[in-house]
Chains A and B, each alone.
Chain A
Amino acid sequence: MDTASKIRKAFVEYVLEHERTPKSIYKLAKSIKLKEEDFYAHYTNISAIENDVWRGFFEETRQKIEGEEVYASYSVREKVLAFYYTWIEVLKANRSYISTLYHEHKHDLQASQTLASFKEEFHDFIENLLLEGRETQEIAERPYLVEMYPNVFWAQALLVLRFWVKDVSPNFEKTDVYIEKAVNFAFDVMGSTSLDSAFDFFKYAFQNR
């Protein structure tokens, strides 16, 4: 295990044991017998570690889904669904850690900036999927609007996360239903709907008055 992952592991353990994030680098460094100056070679503050843990969850999820044979044959809608289901599975293994953080950040992880690197990677990931979706016509071409979609999915991911943190149903079954419905709703709206043909028609009628 490299030093950076050792630090992340120690950080998560610290949070689990103390039910809060460490206040200083010093304490954390000491717990894994690392000199403070060596520590800074990897992370310069606590928030950076937290960020990296979230990014780690995302990476793990992506590797898992892309490692599955069936994934390549999925439609874009199914790929997004697969992402969420696997993501929640990964998070499940770290539920105590996440719910501690969630409360510490007063239920607003977004504002605390601890999701920043995860967000960046998620954006790239979704953007690629959206491009694929536009090719397969699952996503309707709508100038300007299409550019906003990654943000929509990011908001959706946060909603899913929030729903799951609060979910107390056995096996988080309710989160599964939530994901299914949220993703279907998004794709139904982003796919070609009657509004697109209406717009197309009125535009044509207007231009050829």
Chain B
Amino acid sequence: MKSQKNIPTGKIQRATRFVTTGVKVGGNYLKHYTKKAFNKDLSKDELHEDNARDIYAALSNLKGSALKVAQMMSMDKNMLPKAYTNRFTMSQYSAPPLSGPLVAKTFKQYFGKTPAEIYDKFSKEAVNAASIGQVHAAEIDGKKLAVKIQYPGVADSISSDLKMVKPFASIILGLPDKDIDKYLEEVESKLVEETDYELELKRSVEISEACAHIPHLVFSRYYPEYSSKKILTMDWLDGKHLKEFMLTDPSQEVRNQIGQALWNFYDFQMHTLKEVHADPHPGNFLMREDGTLGIIDFGCIKEIPIDFYRDFFMVINPHLLENEQLMMDNFYKMEFLNKNDSPTEIAFYTGVFKKMIGLLCRPFRSEYFDFSDDAYFKEIFDFGEKLATMPEIRNSKEARGSKHSLYINRTYFGLYSILNELKADNIKTNRPAWLNEPLEEASNK
């Protein structure tokens, strides 16, 4: 891997980079409309492709939290035109690494020893890069280890990075600044948590112990004695990332087994632990030929508040849509609807959300679901596109949806799209019983 070339330093430099992007994006629109003047059929895809490339180039130079936001945007495939998604998915794999001496220095600072003194072997170059750190391969007594080291200063730069992402987020998502704030606060608090490796260690151990009974899942062992605030040592997990794994042409049986393990993992976290690994991008899962799934990176954990839990999952219950009163209550609680909405708005959004729920909850409507069905995902995608072009929504100055749903939605989007790419065609969509029972009874629980 090539070592770090240049990261823009201060806020000013970062800002200039964003301005440059802004100019380029502006230019892309100009190009688009000029071409369009001559060719009415020109699709917006080319424009999106141009924009995505320039924004990605800018974000990837910023590293850290901006990259993280790019990742998040790439997760919410439905919120973004496809071109952005493809480009941003790349950001999940590459970020420029730290220099060897700084890695050595960080070790000396926390352990008073160099990596060479702690481990029998330690790779000089990073073998993998994460958005806030990088991974080195190491070995002790013949045991292969993965050592994650955090970039210095990441925690400090989060808030200033997010401030600069804001205008982009508000353009891409088409929302006013004040509404973006509500979500960015949630994102910021999660990002800050992610920079605390001691917390990550604690959660990794807790969740992997709690999930140990789920078949076909593999977790790393963590080594607190070789871990600190900025360094995390764990067992090396073998396996391939989703895209590479699919290239090896695994059998349908193996793919379903992995998919089922993934589904069960999330089902257990959502409904039993009420805290969930909320970063389901393909980089965090290692798939193996024997149909087992390695899970890494517990940096981003969303704890689900109990009140929110009931309201959120009630939506999955098919009986909800039949009970007008309960449904409207729920829509207000979930902040789909706001108290000051006009009757026209209420009617419009109720329709939209009913349709959306019907669509997104389809896997829960039957006992087994075929996630390899591209038509289903096309339907979701088209619905998203249609929403984005509806004047009522495009001109809406109001954000809808509770801030808690941000990470839960992202988790489900991630889960669905991994299962889709995995072409898992027979997943038992396990869920707790109360999600199927008539609601009067459920609401008493």
Contact = CB atoms under 8 A, between A and B. Distances in A.
Interface of A: 68-70, 73-74, 77-78, 81-82, 85-86, 89, 169, 171, 173-174, 176-177, 179-181, 183-185, 188
Contacts of B114: 68, 70
B100 to A, nearest CB: 5
Contacts, number: 63
A116 to B, nearest CB: 27
Contacts of B153: 169, 173-174, 176-177
Interface in B218-250: none
Given A69-B116, A177-B153, A85 B101 contact: yes
Interface residues of B, number: 21
A78 B156 CA distance: 25
B6 A171 contact: no
Interface of B: 3-7, 9, 98-102, 104-105, 108-109, 114, 116, 124, 152-153, 156
Contacts of A183: 99
Contact of A184 (B5, B104, B152): B5
B99 A173 contact: no
B99 A77 contact: yes
B104 A82 contact: yes
B401 to A, nearest CB: 36
Nearest to B122: A70
B101 A73 contact: no
A176 B99 contact: no
Contacts of A188: 5-6
A78 B4 contact: no
A106 B397 CA distance: 55
A54 B3 CA distance: 32
A78 B101 contact: yes
Given A69-B116, A174-B153, A81 B101 contact: yes
A185 B10 CA distance: 13
A86 B153 CA distance: 19
Contacts of A177: 152-153
Contacts of B124: 70, 73
Contacts of A69: 116
B101 A169 contact: no
Given A70-B116, A188-B5, A188-B6, A173 B152 contact: yes
